[in-house]
Amino acid sequence: MSSQSAAFKSLEDLRAACLDLPAGSDTAAAAVAKRQDTLTKPPGSLGRLETIAAWLGRWQGRDMPKLDNVKVFVFAGNHGVTAQGVSAYPSEVTVQMVANFAGGGAAINQLARIAGAALDVIPIDLDHPTGDFTIAPAMDEKAFLAAVSAGYDAVTKDLDLVCFGEMGIGNTTPAAAISTALFGGGAEKWTGRGTGVDDAGLQRKVVAIEAGLKRHTDSLSDPLKIAAALGGRELAAILGATLAARRNNVPVLLDGFVCTAAAAPLARLHPTGLAHTIAAHVSAEAGHRRLLEALGLPPLLDLGMRLGEGSGACLAVNIVRSALECHARMASFAEAGVSER
């Protein structure tokens, strides 16, 4: 799919939207927390399930949140930097996996069904890979804004919760490049084996990222220019979708390393830019745990996963549903006739 959206006409339009973010409803969050204190359990004994319920309330603006309309978006894009030998798989696998999603044969199809979530796969210009960022920007401003807008337009106000996933052979290299540019520490700190490259492939990834950082020095002070120069269309779409979710009062479950890196520029532009998100899991990809720590996002799950596709985020939908069921259906001490402390 090639986006013709004009959601953002310029980087400055996009920047202005990233700086103008709703704060969520303190009133709804407080009402949820107050009800939690009346339920038949010691205060705080459900741990993060209680804070998840309050998080849902805050970002939905409801003292009784709902999960009637949950959707997983998988954005797909292709990457020119694969010319540097950074992936164990060829680029054509991106298109083949998009077809697999359509046929219902991927892990995310099964996990979305179990979680009661709709699945929307959005390929973005797969016939036109991004530029090889070691020698040119991955995207010029027009291509970057089109991809951001494709993600932004996908997230509508009627959604109760969204998960973002990605498919793009080679995309852990842009994710590591963005993480390095945003948080420093050198490419080796952020670079992992992705789809399973050997030692030589891992070194090629590090060299490519270092070359990209050197090539785009002039962009490294601006999170949006970093995302354009070093990222990919699916990463840009996830950035746009994360921004739209915030502005539409839709809470977000972030998936793995690529999704988190894609959304990270929003956190660098606004001090609470990712407050409406929860890290669904920490992946086995080397840089993800470090990135979550840098962003202050403790993960819900740690299952050694590194698939992408939104798989970890979709698993966490079940935890969020459990949190809501306890909040909505547990009896209060008064209702149950149970003595309080």
Which residues are catalytic, by number? 309
Element housing 173 (H / E):
helix 172-183
Q: Which residues contact 282 (CB under 8 A, 6 or more apart)?
A: 288, 289, 292, 299, 301, 302
Tell which residue, 58, 14, 80, has the closest CA to residue 239: 14
Cβ-Cβ contacts under 8 Å for 209 (sequence gap 6 or more): 173, 176, 177, 180, 187, 190, 191
CA–CA separation, 62 and 328 (whole Å) = 12
DSSP state of 82: G
What's the sign of the alpha-carbon dihedral 204, 206, 207, 211? Answer: positive
CA distances from 73 to 108, 159, 201 (A): 10, 12, 30
Tokens linked to 29: 């969050």
How many Å apart are CA 270 and CA 210, to the nearest integer?
27
One-letter amino acid identity for 259? C
Eight-state DSSP code of residue 301: B
Half-sphere exposure of 336 (CA within 13 A, CB side): 12
Determine the Cα–Cα distance for residues 20 and 183; give it in Å rounded to an integer.
Answer: 23
| CB distance 307 to 284 below 8 Å | no
What's the burial of 41, exposed, middle or buried (CB within 10 Å: 0-12/13-18/19+)?
middle
- Tally Cβ neighbours within 10 Å of residue 214: 10
